[in-house]
Amino acid sequence: MTELEKCTAGEYYNCHDKIFLDMKSNARKLLQEYHALAYEQKEEKRHILQQLFGEIGTNVSVGLPFICDYGQNIHIGNNVSVNMNCTFVDCNKITIGDNVLIASNVQLYTATHPVPLSERLTPDRKEETEQYFCRTYALPIKIGDGCWLGGGVIVLPGVAIGEGSVIGAGSVVTKNIPKNSLAVGNPCRVIRKINEDMCNV
């Protein structure tokens, strides 16, 4: 398997492989151009986002500043608002559905490392070299249609948030959230069902 295939499959991969460095370099270039544009330069902004993201629907806004790792692993539907100062670490796929609100300071992290130190460190590392010293893997994140992520929400690797759900400000989402749920806290927990009157629409 190539390093890219390992990454996509959720296995340990070399994040300093040339393919990732090239992807990151391209993303940094496009982000620099994006940040240089004025607020009202909507068409120019969309043109850059079309190059940066793997997929982008209609009526999508991404506030400044915005940070992502590769860009091409981000797939966004229609009618999506990403507010200012959001960070998408898209080492694996980030899928955002239609009619989604993402508030300021939201962080979506697909990349992670093993918790035990013995597993986290690269077994054949050499202290005197520039070799990356720890293992990395990445798991996809999915945000369903009609979701709203409040300010400062953090979504961890491998999490799926069901359609119609609302995540309260400041929450840390460590596990999947079912659809049509209001969930808050650290760790984020469902406190009640919502949108029940729309389930049969």
Residue numbers of the chain with a pLDDT score lower than 50: 201
Domains of the chain: 3-189 (2.160.10.10)
- Residues 6+ away with beta carbon under 8 Å from 75: 53, 54, 55, 56, 93, 94, 95, 96
pLDDT the model gives residue 182: 98
pLDDT the model gives residue 118: 87
pLDDT the model gives residue 53: 98
pLDDT the model gives residue 123: 77
Name which of 14, 6, 10, 5 is nearest 130 in CA terms: 14
Give residue-wise pLDDT tens across range 163-201: 999 999 999 999 999 999 999 999 999 999 998 776 554
Is 113 assigned a catalytic role? yes
Cβ contact 194:180 at 8 Å? yes
Cβ contact 125:142 at 8 Å? no
pLDDT the model gives residue 201: 46
Measured in Å, how far apart are the chain's first and last C-alpha atoms? Answer: 45
pLDDT the model gives residue 65: 97
- Which one of the listed residues 16, 47, 75, 113 is annotated catalytic? 113
